[in-house]
A and B are shown apart, each in its own frame.
Chain A
Amino acid sequence: MVKSPEEEHPQKAFGWAARDPSGTLSPFHFSRRENGDEDVTVKILYCGVCHSDLHSVKNEWGITRYPIVPGHEIVGIVIQLGNNVKKFKRGDRVGVGVLVGSCKTCETCQQDLENYCPSMIFTYNSTSQDGTRTYGGYSDIVVVDQRYVLRIPDNMPLDAGAPLLCAGITVYSPMKYYGMTEPGKHLGVAGLGGLGHVAVKLGKAFGLKVTVISTSPNKEDEAINKLGADCFLLSTNPEKVQAALGTMDYIIDTVSAIHSLGPLLAMLKLNGKLITVGLPDKPLELPIFPLVMGRKLIGGSDIGGIKETQEMLDFCAKHNITADIELIQMDYINTAMKRLSKSDVKYRFVIDVANSLSQ
């Protein structure tokens, strides 16, 4: 007989879950596995609200199994260690991102690319090796294999650091992989939300000229004056778009709404690279002519491996990069999700789990 979420594991846990595609979250009692030899148990202090959480609770990608406890931008402190855990000690400030497991033996795992392992296990909405479902960080504790636990640098605030565990690595990894880090080159960032605003900060830290490409005129002031972008391009203004043609070495497209890739491709120089990290729920229109005529490419990227995620956190700490957040209480989550669906947040909600998750 299948055990209930509350009974399936020995450690009691509490969080908020969505139970159906309305996506409405509410209190949820469940359980976590016993802390094994390789495991770390984390008392969760903060959890970022990623747009993927919204897509998932509403089953927009068609792969959600309910009940679902989202949250994969988790930070907290270590409260228990397995016998084989040497990297961490009790009280350490740690984070858990999008993955909590992989096969560890395939070629991609051995190259520290667990995020491309065919058997990877997501922090929520996945099936663990023991056959039970994974539940994410909108909860009080989480038990994770030490390989997938990140150290939060000492000088990094936990709340503003949490979103880096998904948003940060999602833009950092392709910027490195596709060679988008040459000082002096010109980076376009399409979409100024959770991903986009971190991409601007990273771009500036790499010494790039950064142009924000957005459909929202009211984001210009912040983009330039607060985030440090060099230019702001309102993509609904045909004159401005014309002037930007063939001027960018790279573009990171963080937009998950359906849009044609033609205008962005046109903004690239010869050999330019358009990297897409947004997850639209339908295919996008791709004109091939500009790819051929300008030897341009469009590439995808999916979060990053654990080693690279740690590297990204250390890089951000060194350059004082954190997310711009709005801290919320757990019971604000449904309102936050509604606001998120309208992009009404600058630029990531972070749940103050420890102080507001009460049973």
Chain B
Amino acid sequence: MASTNASVVFSGSKAVTSHEEEHPVKAFGWAARDNSGHLSPFNFSRRSTGEEDVRLKVLYCGICHTDLHNSKNEWGSASYPLVPGHEVVGTVTEVGSKVKKFKVGDKVGVGCLVGACHSCDDCSHDLENYCPKLILTYGSLYHDGTMTYGGYSDTMVANERYVIRIPDNMPLDKGAPLLCAGITVYSPLKYYGLDEPGMHIGIVGLGGLGHIAVKFAKAFGCKVTVISTSPAKKKEAIEHLGADMFLVSRDEQQMQGAMGTMDGIIDTVSAIHPLLPLIGLLKSQGKLVMLGAPDRPLELPVFPLILGRKTVGGSLTGGLKETQEMIDFAAKHDIKSDIEVISMDYINTAMERLAKGDVRYRFVIDIGNTLAASNP
């Protein structure tokens, strides 16, 4: 269907339904249009509220490093225009006829996923995040063949299964990052058995993921050592986040002194870095869990793995059931993200700062108060 609307969408040379007309409910957000990653206002639309859907007015959205990677198409899978955002919180404005868990006015969140097959082994074990047909909150094709758009927008609609209840005592802005960063560190701490009181856990990298990992590990009763390339982060790590120790990873003496002392290490760093020193920090039977995925293979020294019966594993966010469990645990232990709230139109500057790690420790967009004003 041809249109003279400026936002007409072309598939090849054929005009197809524009983003604004694709679905019945108008929506507004900010999108990246090309691999410069520059974001700007974007008019589009969302599906109407289906029987199993929950519609929410978005109040806040956390900025995950993944948003930056995707906006710039660093992983080669981006589809433009791209509306990022998978740490979305807001209030329910409408529920479908079959929705049991939520009602209008509830404080809810949406994380990294909005769909899966629901019939495979992974889905039936509450591991939707590993389903081969999983649908991401943005940049994926939904069941109806249309692109999903994320939380840098005024409203969202999601299947009830993918909506998380935000506990009453959790502030929405500081709770938003838990929907990705929180579950990404909580899930492996549990799965790899690194959640027992008295264990010594190392956290590599003190950013969005790392700072929350410190808080969870402390809540589990573990001793926590932060391992970082930045000596400047030591004071905060110890005094503000509650870490017990801080190791500068480039300081060989410090690293040597800590060898064989840790039950587990959560590695949040996605830049290329050597695994040998980290494996050396582990006790016998220790576990190194990788959360960041460097874009090239790393070298695995096999001898230390064998001589100490150590493991290197990975983990990717978490299923919905576990995400709810995580946020309830966080609320109970007063764990929230440390954030810098920004207005929507600050987003490009925020992305530049994020690329340099210049944030303590997560940007959160105040969608509710600043998105509408950014609409030209």
Residues of A within 8 A of B304 (CB): 300
Residues of A within 8 A of B346 (CB): none
Within 8 A of B (CB), among A292-337: 292-302
Q: Which residue of A lies closest to B130 (CB)?
A: A270
Report if B305 contacts A (CB, 8 A): yes
A302 touches B313 (CB 8 A): no
Residues of A within 8 A of B121 (CB): 270
* A interface footprint on B269-283 (CB within 8 Å = 1, 0 otherwise): 000000110000000
A276 touches B306 (CB 8 A): yes
B26 to chain A, nearest CB (A): 35
A295 touches B309 (CB 8 A): no
A297 touches B313 (CB 8 A): yes
* A interface footprint on B112-143 (CB within 8 Å = 1, 0 otherwise): 00000000011000010010000000000000
B297 touches A285 (CB 8 A): yes
Report if B170 contacts A (CB, 8 A): no
Pick the contact of B312 from A174, A177, A262, A286 — CB < 8 Å?
A286
Size category of the A interface is 20 to 34
Report Cα–Cα, A174/B285, bound state, in Å: 12
B316 touches A300 (CB 8 A): no
Please give the residue numbers on chain A whose beta carbons come within 8 Å of chain B beta carbons, in ascending order: 108, 113, 116, 174, 177, 260-262, 270, 276-280, 283-302
Size category of the B interface is 35 or more
Q: Which residue of A lies closest to B315 (CB)?
A: A295
Report Cα–Cα, A310/B11, bound state, in Å: 68
A254 to chain B, nearest CB (A): 12
Pick the contact of A295 from B284, B300, B314 — CB < 8 Å?
B314
Majority DSSP secondary structure for residues of A touching B? mixed
Report Cα–Cα, A116/B284, bound state, in Å: 7
Residues of A within 8 A of B300 (CB): 261, 283-286, 298
A159 to chain B, nearest CB (A): 28
A288 touches B305 (CB 8 A): no
Residues of A within 8 A of B287 (CB): 297
Within 8 A of A (CB), among B290-335: 290-294, 297-316
Pick the contact of B301 from A262, A283, A302 — CB < 8 Å?
A283
A291 to chain B, nearest CB (A): 3
Pick the contact of A270 from B122, B291, B307 — CB < 8 Å?
B122
B314 touches A299 (CB 8 A): no
Given the contacts A276-B302, A285-B297, A298 and B284 also touching, CB distance less than 8 Å:
no
